[in-house]
Structure 1
Amino acid sequence: MKLAFLSDIHGNAHALDAVLEDITENQVDKIFVLGDLAYRGPEPNRVLQLIQQLDATVIKGNADEWVVRGVNQGEVPDQALEMMNKERDWTVAQLNQADIEYLSNLPTELKFEEQGVAFHAFHATPTSLFDVVLPHTEDTEIEAQLMTAHQADVYLYGHIHKAYTRFINGKTIMNLGSVGLPFDGVTKASYATVDLDGGSIRPTIHKVSYDYEKTINKYHEVNYPNTTLMENIVRNASL
């Protein structure tokens, strides 16, 4: 059995198209989406349509929460707060009430088992949509923040837009990277698969090429309120 995990699409439908095509080619059996679907991209509506058309299990990210209720002071740097709420308001204007309710009602974590392998998946940490756990965090800190809330064999999350795989005390920890806004300097859409075979686990990070200039052109076409910054992020794959 092959499971696919993706997150942090951020309204980049061109990148999502490429990832879904790659997932089909990889003959994936089940798809899981770990949040941050629409906000900060030029095509929030099309991304939500694509995700809702999938036979996928979806959870909420911090950016989905922002779409629902706005960005609060203290959640981003003070100098970015006004602009990020302008971006949020623009995103909401592209959606309908059913979309907002869909995002509002998403669960915040997944706990499931396949072929005797236990999985725990969440957006940032099991207890927060906002906390940051970076790739080179010490093992003890990863255990404390990601692995103590629920016993599992595989832990998966998004949020930091930097894909990695770690093995700690016989457990597998994966960050999926980002479909739409990678921050690792690689201008490719990122997602992960986990192959299961008789209890064995094979985790893989996939980097999928797509025409990111189409995404940049779309930001300009729709008059996105923070186009210059987003163009730089997409073109350089970094903040």
Structure 2
Amino acid sequence: MKLALISDIHSNLHYLEKILAAIGREGVDEIYCLGDLIGYYDRPHDVLQCCLANDIKAVRGNHEHYLIGSIGYAPEKEDLYRIREQREELDGEDMEFLKGLPDFMVVTLMGKTLYLTHSLPGNCVGYLRDVGQLDTGFLAGYDYFCFGHTHRPLINYHFGCCLLNPGSVGQPRDYSRKPSYIIVDLEKDSVTLVKVEVDYKAYSTILRERGYNDLTLHALERN
């Protein structure tokens, strides 16, 4: 059985479609998104509809919390996050979908147990940058701990648990300019990180013409 892990789509439908096309060639059985489907970019409604159409199972990230109002954010970040704008753009079905997302999931398949969340357990805003931030007793209960939020891919092992971060679909921050995903083959007990080529220049040009924040453009263009 194969699973695909994605994260941090951030309303970037252009990159999501490229990622899903690549995943479609992998023969996966399930796709899981580790939060932050919305925020930053220009197609939140279409991204959510695409996730629903592809039966992508998702957890809630900090940007979903910002949008539904369960966590606050600094007002000066609005031009960057575009939360108010997206709240107005999304319809009732979109909002119900976001409100229904769990903060984490525990999934057991083929005798393997996966913990899926956006970042630190119980803290979707804090960054998990070092495995030492996680309690070893907690990790001992899982074969895989899957998280996002940093926008940087990671495959690591700690006290018998495999830590997986697929990086970001919508805003890669590893200076590769390539969105990424991870394939987990439960039968072979193997994990594979895959990066996908995208036309970042064309997308950045569209966003620049529409007046998007320079920081969000730089995140797509830097290497």
> TM-score, normalising length from structure 1?
0.86
Determine helix, strand or coil for the equivalent of 2:189. strand
CA contact (8 A) 2:157 2:163 kept: yes
Whether 1:29 aligns to 2:26 is no
CA contact (8 A) 2:80 2:215 kept: no
Whether 1:234 aligns to 2:220 is yes
What letter matches 1:228 in structure 2? Answer: D
What letter matches 2:222 in structure 1? Answer: N
Whether 1:128 aligns to 2:123 is yes
**Cα distance in 1 for residues equivalent to 2:117 and 2:200:** 27
RMSD of the TM alignment (CA)?
A: 2.1
> What residue in structure 1 maps to residue 173 of structure 2?
183
What does residue range 36-115 of structure 1 map to in structure 2 within 5 Å? 36-69=36-69, 72=72, 75=73, 80-84=76-80, 87-115=82-110
1:169 to 153, 159, 173: 159
**Cα distance in 2 for residues equivalent to 1:82 and 1:38:** 13
**Cα distance in 1 for residues equivalent to 2:133 and 2:35:** 23
Q: For the structure 1 residues 94 and 218, does the alpha-carbon distance in structure 2 shift closer, same or farther, using more than 3 Å as the test?
A: farther
CA contact (8 A) 2:78 2:84 kept: no
What letter matches 1:233 in structure 2? Answer: A
Cα offset, 1:149, TM superposition? 7.2
**Cα distance in 2 for residues equivalent to 1:126 and 1:84:** 26
**Cα distance in 1 for residues equivalent to 2:89 and 2:201:** 22
Determine helix, strand or coil for the equivalent of 1:28. coil
CA contact (8 A) 1:192 1:206 kept: yes
Share of identical aligned residues, percent?
28
Flag structure 1 segments of 5+ consecutive residues without an equivalent.
none
**Cα distance in 1 for residues equivalent to 2:17 and 2:83:** 23
Cα offset, 1:150, TM superposition? 7.6
> What residue in structure 1 maps to residue 15 of structure 2?
15
How many residue pairs get aligned? The number is 223
**Cα distance in 2 for residues equivalent to 1:90 and 1:68:** 13
2:134 to 128, 132, 142: 142
User: Which stretch of structure 1 is more off in the superposition, 227-236 or 24-33?
Assistant: 227-236
**Cα distance in 1 for residues equivalent to 2:207 and 2:71:** 21
1:209 to 185, 197, 202: 197
Flag structure 2 segments of 5+ consecutive residues without an equivalent.
none
**Cα distance in 1 for residues equivalent to 2:39 and 2:3:** 25
Cα offset, 1:141, TM superposition? 2.5
Determine helix, strand or coil for the equivalent of 2:134. helix
Residue by residue over 1:116-142, the C-alpha shift from the partner in whole angstroms, topping out at 9 and shown as x without a partner, is: 1111110012211111111xx2x4323
